[in-house]
Structure 1
Amino acid sequence: MRRSARLLLGLVLAALPLAARAQAPGLRPDQATFRALYQELIETDTSITTGSCTALADKIDAHLRQAGYGEDQITRFAGPGHPKEGGIVVILPGTSTTLKPLLLLGHLDVVVAKREDWTRDPYRLVEENGYFYGRGVADMKAMDAIWIDAMMRFKAQGYRPKRTIKLALTCGEEGGSPFNGAEWLAKNRPDLITAEFALNEGGGGRTDGHGKLLTANLHVGEKASESFRIETTNPGGHSSVPIRDNAIYELADALAKIRDLEFPLQMSPTTRAFFARAGAARGDDLGRAMVALANNPADKAAEAVVNTDRSYHSMLRTTCVATLLDGGHAENALPQRAGANINCRIFPGDTVEGTRAALAAAIGDPGVTVTPKALRGPLAQPPPLDPKVVGPAEKLVAKYYPGVPLVPMMSTGATDGLFLEAIGIPSYGPPGTFADPDGNGVHGLNERLAARALYTGRELLTELVKAYADAD
C-alpha cells in the first residue's frame, strides 16, 4: 500500500473515537480513549522480523493531524533502505523565544515475540487480574502512548507551554537492524530534537512483588552495551572417528568459564545513593543489606545478600552473558568452527578492551578468540542530578504515590539516551509507571504491566511534562 493510501486510511480511523474501538468498563471517557490508543500501539506489530514501525508511525501521524497538528509541526523520517523503520517528530511550539525545548523520546520497535512460546497472543492486548499483557506493554509502548496522548490533549486544550515540547518516536532501539532512528536524528537532524533535556525510558519504580510500590525511580545514566564474538576453530574430520579436540567442546568449556566469571563490585555516586535510599525504604533483610553495602562496599556479607536479587546484582558490576550460539557444518562431520555471542553491560568507567581482556583471562585458552563487535553507540555519559529535573519529579511522586521515595538509579540496560547525550542533550528516565522484581517479562515471555501503573503513570507524567515545560 502506498504511503498516501496508508495515511488516508489512518485519517479515517482517527476520525472514529478511539474509545469506541476498545471496551473498557469502569473507565472515564478520557481513560477509555487512552486505553484504545495503547491497544492500537500494542496490536500494531513493530518487531524487526514481522512488523513495521512505519505502519505505526502512519497511525500516530493520523491521530496527531486529527488533533490539530499541521504539516509544519510534523516530520516523518526513515533511513535509506529501511522503509519499515520510519519514525516521527511532532512539535508543540512554546511561547518563549529564549527557553530551550523539552524533548520526549520513545522507541516504537519491540523485541520479537513468537506466538508458540507465549501463553497469549503477544500482539493482542489482554487485560487479566489487574495486568495488561502483550509485547511492548511495558517496553516501551506504555510511555509512547502517554507521550502521544499528552501531545494530543495539549493541542485539544489549547495549552501553550513556555518551552516548546518535542516528541520523537523512533525505530531501531531494540536492535536487529543497522538503522537506529535516534542515532539518525542526532547525526542528521539535530535541529529537530535539540533540547534542554530529554525524558526517555529507564525510570519508573519497583514494587515488592505484591502490589506495594517501594521506590519510584529517576533514571540517571546507564551501562554501555557491547557484544563480543568468541570462537573456536578446528580441522574437523569424519564424525565416525571422534577425538577430544572438538571445536564445540572447546567452546562449551569457554562458555562455562564465562558463566562463572564475576566482575568486581563497583559503585558510582548514583548507585550508592540508590542502594542507600531504596534499601531504607524496604525495611527487610535485603533492604538492610543494601544500606550496609552503600555504607561499606567491602562488606562481603551484605554483598552476598544483595546479589540474591538479579537486578541489584547487575547494578553493582559489569556483567557478561551468552546470548547466541552456533557451530558445526554437517551432521556427519566433526565441527570446524563454533562460536557464541557474549553480551556485556559495561559499568561506567570500565572499558571495552578491559572487558575483553577479562573474558579472555577467564577463558584461559589461546585457542578461543574474543573479538569485540561494533559498539551499539557512543559510551554513555551520565547526566547530572539537576535539581530542575529532580525537584518537580519528587513533588509529583509525593502527590501520586504518598510516602514512596524518589530514588536516582543507573539503568543496567541500554537506551537511546546515549545518542542524545553525545550531542549535549541530557537524558533522564522519569518516574510514573512501575514494575515487579521479576522484570515483568520485558524482552521475555508474557510481558505485562499493571493497569494501575499505566493509568497513574499517565496522570503523573502528563503533569510532569507540563511542570518542566512551564519552568523557567
Structure 2
Amino acid sequence: MAETANPPRPQDEVVDIARDLIRIDTTNTGDNATAKGERAAAEYVAEKLAEVGLEPKIYESAPGRASVACRYPGADSTRGALLLHGHLDVVPAEPDEWTVHPFSGEIKDGYLFGRGAVDMKDFDAMLLALVRDWKRRGKVPPRDLVLLFTADEEAGSDYGARFMVEEHPEVFEGVTEAVGEVGGFSVTLPNDLRVYVVQTAEKGLDWLRLRATGRPGHGSMLHDDNAVTRLTRAVANIGQHRFEVEMTPTVRQFLESVSELTGIEFDPNNPDATVAKLGPVARLIGATLRNTANPTRLNAGYKTNVIPSTADAVIDCRSLPGRNDELEAILRELAGDGIDFEYEIRQPGYETSFDGVLVDAMAEAIRQADPGARTVPYMLSGGTDAKAFATLGIRCFGFAPLKLPADLDFTALFHGIDERVPLDGLKFGVDVMDRFITQS
C-alpha cells in the first residue's frame, strides 16, 4: 500500500481527483466504436482505491466499457450494506463552444471547469477522497459500503449499471440502500432560504421510435399514401400535446414543504401556478408534474423527387413512476393509424418515500454543515443508474451534496457549455458525506 508521510486532507484531495477525472476524456457517444476513456478512468479509480488498501475489481462489459467496484467492510455486517455509486462517462462536448477546453480541468474564478464537473465526476471525487481518508486513518464505517463507479450511464446504462446488476449481482449482496446522483445540492427559494433537494424519485425513460410506411413514388405526382406526411402529422400531434397534471407523493411533498417554508400558496388543483412562483426552482420541478414526450429526431427519404416508403422519428418520452403504459396509450391515440412503435430504451420510473434512518442522516448532516437549511424530497425529470439498482429491491436516493451560490443556474450546467462546480462546493460535499456516512 503506497502512502505519503503527510497525506492530504480530503477537502484538498477532492479537487485534485476531480481534475484528474475530468482530464480523462470519457465521452459516451452511445456507440461502442466511438465511446472512449471509460477503461482508463476505471483503472485510475481502482488505483486510488488500491493505494489505501481496498480491493477494487474492474468489470468490462465490452472492450473498453469498464466499471469498478469494491467493498469497504463496516462495523456491523449484519446491517444492510450501503451502495455509494457514481458514473465515469460523460456526454460529448464541443471545445469551440466553451471558454475553456472541456477536458482541461481548468480552475478559474473559484470554479473547476470541465465536462463531468457536475455530472458526475465531482461526486466520484468526493467518494474517492473520503474513503481514502477513512482508510488512512483506520476509520470503520458503521456498516458495509459498496463502492461502484460505472460506465455508460449517459446512454442508458446497458454497459454499466445494468450489466453489473444482470451479470454480477454478487457485487450487491446485502445492499439495501443506495446513494448517488442527482440530488443533495442547494436551491435558494424566493425568500432566500436555502434547501437541499434529495432525489427520491425519477421519471421513466422511454426512447420511442415511430415508423410510418406508405407507397413510394415520384415526387411530381399526386400522392395520397405518403409516409412522410403520415409521420409528420403524428409527430406534430405528440409534440404539441400537453399532458394532464398527475402529482406523485414526492412532488406533492416537495410543493407542500416549499409552501410551508416560503408562504407561497400551494393549490393542489393548480400546482402549475405554485411552481410558476418559485423562480429558478420552477425549471427543476415543472417537468415532474406530468408525463412528457418531445420529438428529437427525424429521418426520411434519400432524394428530393422520390417519395420514400418509410419515415422515422424518435420521441424522448419521460413517464411518471408507474405511468409508462398509460403514456404509451395516449401516444398511440395521438399518432393515429399507420404508425408503428418500437422502443430503443424502455425503463420504468422509480419512487421511494422520504423517511427512514438514511433520510434522517442526510438531514442531520446538512443541518450540521449548513445550520438553518432544510432537506426536501424531489423528483428528477431525467434518469440515473438508480433505475437499474431498484430492480434488485434497493431503495435509491440522489444525494451528492453541494452548497451553491444563489445566482448559479446549476441545472443548466448538466450537459451544458462551460460545465463547472464551485471549489468550495466540492469541499462542502466531502464534509457532508463524511458526516452522513458516519451517521448512516
TM-score normalised to the size of structure 2?
0.87
Code of the residue aligned with 2:375 in structure 1: it is: L
The one of 371, 374, 377 aligned to 1:402 = 371
Matched, 1:327 2:300: yes
Change in 2 beyond 3 A, CA 1:451/1:342: same
Change in 2 beyond 3 A, CA 1:462/1:50: same
1:52 Cα deviation (Å)? Answer: 2.1
Code of the residue aligned with 2:317 in structure 1: it is: C
Change in 2 beyond 3 A, CA 1:307/1:29: closer
Structure with higher RCO (Cα < 8 A, 6+ apart): 2
Corresponding residue of 1:51: 36
Q: Distance in 2 between matches of 1:87 and 1:237?
A: 50
CA RMSD of aligned residues (A): 3.0
Q: Does the CA contact (< 8 Å) of 1:205 and 1:214 recur in 2?
A: no
The 5 A counterparts of 1:365-376 are 365-376=336-347
Change in 2 beyond 3 A, CA 1:132/1:246: farther
The one of 236, 246, 249 aligned to 1:269 = 249
Change in 2 beyond 3 A, CA 1:325/1:155: same
Matched, 1:349 2:329: no
Matched, 1:35 2:6: no
Corresponding residue of 1:447: 419
Corresponding residue of 1:462: 434
Higher strand share: 2
Code of the residue aligned with 1:221 in structure 2: it is: A
Matched, 1:187 2:148: no
Change in 2 beyond 3 A, CA 1:30/1:162: closer
The one of 368, 384, 388 aligned to 1:415 = 384
Q: Distance in 2 between matches of 1:314 and 1:280?
A: 22
1:151 Cα deviation (Å)? Answer: 1.4
**Helix, strand or coil: the match of 1:330?**
coil
Q: Distance in 2 between matches of 1:422 and 1:68?
A: 31
Higher helix share: 1
The 5 A counterparts of 1:87-236 are 87-175=67-155, 179-194=158-173, 195-208=175-188, 214-236=194-216
Q: Distance in 2 between matches of 1:342 and 1:426?
A: 29
**Helix, strand or coil: the match of 2:130?**
helix
Change in 2 beyond 3 A, CA 1:15/1:241: farther
Q: How many equivalent residue pairs?
A: 429
Corresponding residue of 1:8: none
Q: Provide Cα deviations, 1:262-281, integer angstroms capped at 9, x if missing partner.
A: 11111122211101213444
Corresponding residue of 1:292: 266
**Helix, strand or coil: the match of 1:349?**
coil
The one of 330, 347, 355 aligned to 1:358 = 330
**Helix, strand or coil: the match of 1:325?**
strand
Q: Distance in 1 between matches of 2:311 and 2:381?
A: 29
**Helix, strand or coil: the match of 2:295?**
strand
Q: Does the CA contact (< 8 Å) of 2:12 and 2:427 recur in 1?
A: no
Q: Distance in 2 between matches of 1:115 and 1:18?
A: 37
Change in 2 beyond 3 A, CA 1:101/1:344: same
1:31 Cα deviation (Å)? Answer: 3.6
Structure 1 residue runs without a partner (length 5+):
1-10, 20-27
Corresponding residue of 2:31: none
1:142 Cα deviation (Å)? Answer: 0.8
Identity percentage of aligned residues: 27
Q: Does the CA contact (< 8 Å) of 2:189 and 2:195 recur in 1?
A: no
Matched, 1:77 2:59: yes
1:342 Cα deviation (Å)? Answer: 0.5
**Helix, strand or coil: the match of 1:449?**
strand
**Helix, strand or coil: the match of 2:74?**
coil
Q: Does the CA contact (< 8 Å) of 1:132 and 1:451 recur in 2?
A: yes
Code of the residue aligned with 2:60 in structure 1: it is: A
Q: Provide Cα deviations, 1:322-355, integer angstroms capped at 9, x if missing partner.
A: 2222221235533333211111111122133x21
